[in-house]
């Protein structure tokens, strides 16, 4: 895509009413699985040994990073930049607006955190706001920031819905170079006059396509309108559709566009369907979960009610299981996610809030108990397995 195609555009040129109408249309046209051919859920994995080894053009030392930051990068086990880090870091260090189109699990968070921390090392007056569509992703970015900035006297406040706003207000009384959060909570703090964005010159929009899907884009527009006109904007998305391109034209000025997407699905994921027919779906699921190969399983359901019902059903059958969905309070969602990450429970049942951006190690199977709304959602769901060049399996229940 030609970079000349993009120009800065102010929030005022877009009608809020028109935007609300657009979001309603976007959400209403997503009937669950009606237009997805089940054949798209079947794909034999390519042996991981066939994957080519990526050799980056740069090493981390080529970026001339602060020694403390370099030490933290190495302590995390990052010997060399990933593809997205290799292509993007130097553009961010130069101050260019950047669009990154990348799959999840590619090191995208490090691709923007590393150069932004370096930017603040060189100019301590810089302040950064990072917006993510879900609280889980925001919290994960915050944890990544803490590990990259350890011992550097650099601080963050994580502002997400579902958590105590009073605790967040207390955090915001201190000097924080990074504000990381979800659009709704950040907007709430601004309206309470707790958070003033006039001093923030850099913004990161992570999983921006997801913000369209979840209806957060109007809150995001309102937040961006409060930033200085001359700002540094970084925009990350897993997809590049017409609506996403419109957002890029609206929010960024002459961006560098880096696409490092590979195949639609990782080659190490074997995909298949489970034809249920007239059988009891839970009984079919039970017969799978008792198999030895099903070691760590992420199960996706359609609604928060069905997810909670399935979780309780599996627990009653003796399975070690937790659930994540929108009706669960923030602290319980975090405990459930941490238990699954640390292998304290074998099964996590979730809505699509767990489908994007979350880095959960060693998931052996993803099971779509309910068919996803779109094929794009399917891609994100099954991307929770087969990560870091490991094999995984995705099963989708169909009638």
> How far apart (Å, rounded) are the C-alpha atoms in residues 311 and 316?
9
- Domain edges within the chain: 3-30+55-259, 269-398
Q: What is the dihedral of CA 15, 20, 25, 26, to 10 degrees?
A: 100
Please report the pLDDT score of residue 97 as a whole number: 96
Output the tens digit of pLDDT for each of the chain's 399 residues. Answer: 333 333 333 333 333 333 333 333 333 334 445 557 766 766 755 444 344 556 888 999 999 999 999 999 999 989 899 999 999 999 999 999 999 988 767 789 999 999 999 999 999 999 999 999 988 899 999 999 999 999 999 999 999 988 889 999 999 999 999 999 999 999 999 999 999 998 999 999 998 888 876 678 889 999 999 999 899 999 998 878 788 899 999 999 999 999 886 555 566 788 999 998 888 999 999 999 999 999 999 999 999 999 999 999 999 999 999 999 988 888 888 899 999 999 999 999 999 888 776 778 889 999 999 998 888 788 888 888 877 667 889 999 988
> How far apart (Å, rounded) are the C-alpha atoms in residues 375 and 369?
15
Calculate the CA 346 to chain-centre distance. Answer: 23
The secondary element (H helix, E strand) that includes residue 170 is helix 165-171
| 8 Å CB contact between 236 and 106 | no
| 8 Å CB contact between 30 and 373 | yes
Please report the pLDDT score of residue 44 as a whole number: 58
Please report the pLDDT score of residue 25 as a whole number: 35
Please report the pLDDT score of residue 365 as a whole number: 95
pTM: 0.68
Looking up tokens 């066939």, which residue turns up?
A: 50
> How far apart (Å, rounded) are the C-alpha atoms in residues 334 and 136?
8
Please report the pLDDT score of residue 22 as a whole number: 33
Please report the pLDDT score of residue 16 as a whole number: 38
3-30+55-259 and 269-398, same CATH topology: yes
| Of 286, 295, 289, nearest in space to 361 by CA | 295
Give me 380's structure tokens: 């994100």
CB atoms closer than 10 angstroms to residue 43: 17
Question: What Cα–Cα distance (Å) separates residue 158 from each residue in 24, 182, 321?
Answer: 29, 9, 28
Q: Phi and psi for 168 in degrees, rounded to 5?
A: -70, -40
CATH for 3-30+55-259? 3.40.50.300
Q: What is the dihedral of CA 237, 337, 43, 306, to 10 degrees?
A: -100
Cα 143–208–135 angle (5° rounding)?
35
Looking up tokens 């944890």, which residue turns up?
A: 143
Question: What Cα–Cα distance (Å) separates residue 319 from each residue in 266, 345, 348, 361, 395?
Answer: 29, 9, 11, 20, 19
Helix (H, G, I), strand (E, B) or coil at 42: coil
User: How is domain 269-398 classified at the CATH fold level?
Assistant: Rossmann fold (3.40.50)
| 8 Å CB contact between 302 and 374 | no
Give me 100's structure tokens: 């990154």
């Amino acid at each position: 895509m030609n970079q000349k195609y993009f120009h800065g555009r102010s929030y005022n040129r877009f009608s809020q009413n028109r935007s609300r109408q657009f979001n309603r249309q976007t959400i209403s046209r997503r009937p669950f699985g009606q237009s997805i051919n089940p054949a798209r859920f079947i794909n034999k994995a390519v042996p991981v040994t066939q994957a080519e080894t990526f050799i980056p053009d740069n090493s981390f030392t080529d970026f001339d990073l602060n020694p403390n930051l370099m030490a933290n990068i190495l302590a995390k086990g990052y010997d060399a930049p990933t593809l997205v880090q290799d292509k993007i870091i130097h553009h961010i260090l130069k101050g260019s607006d950047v669009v990154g189109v990348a799959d999840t699990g590619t090191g995208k968070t490090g691709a923007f955190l590393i150069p932004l921390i370096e930017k603040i090392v060189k100019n301590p007056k810089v302040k950064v706001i990072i917006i993510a569509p879900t609280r889980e992703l925001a919290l994960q970015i915050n944890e990544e920031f803490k590990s990259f900035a350890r011992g550097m006297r650099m601080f963050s406040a994580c502002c997400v819905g579902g958590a105590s706003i009073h605790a967040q207000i207390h955090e915001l009384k201190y000097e924080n170079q990074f504000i990381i959060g979800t659009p709704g909570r950040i907007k709430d703090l601004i309206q309470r006059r707790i958070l003033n964005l006039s001093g923030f010159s850099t913004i990161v929009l992570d999983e921006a396509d997801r913000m369209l899907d979840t209806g957060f884009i109007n809150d995001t527009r309102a937040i961006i309108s409060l930033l200085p006109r001359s700002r540094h904007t970084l925009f990350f998305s897993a997809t590049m559709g017409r609506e996403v391109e419109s957002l890029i034209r609206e929010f960024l000025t002459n961006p560098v566009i880096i696409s490092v997407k590979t195949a639609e699905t990782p080659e190490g994921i074997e995909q298949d369907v489970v034809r249920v027919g007239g059988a009891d779906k839970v009984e079919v699921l039970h017969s799978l979960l008792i198999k030895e190969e099903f070691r760590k399983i992420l199960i996706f359901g359609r609604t928060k009610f069905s997810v909670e019902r399935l979780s309780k059903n599996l627990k009653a059958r003796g399975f070690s299981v937790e659930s994540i969905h929108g009706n669960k309070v923030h602290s319980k969602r975090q405990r459930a996610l941490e238990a699954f990450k640390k292998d304290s429970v074998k099964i996590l049942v979730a809505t699509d809030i767990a489908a994007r951006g979350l880095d959960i190690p060693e998931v052996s199977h993803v099971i779509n108990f309910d068919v996803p709304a779109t094929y794009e959602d399917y891609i994100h769901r099954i991307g929770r397995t087969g990560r870091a060049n490991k094999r995984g399996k995705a099963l989708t229940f169909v009638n």
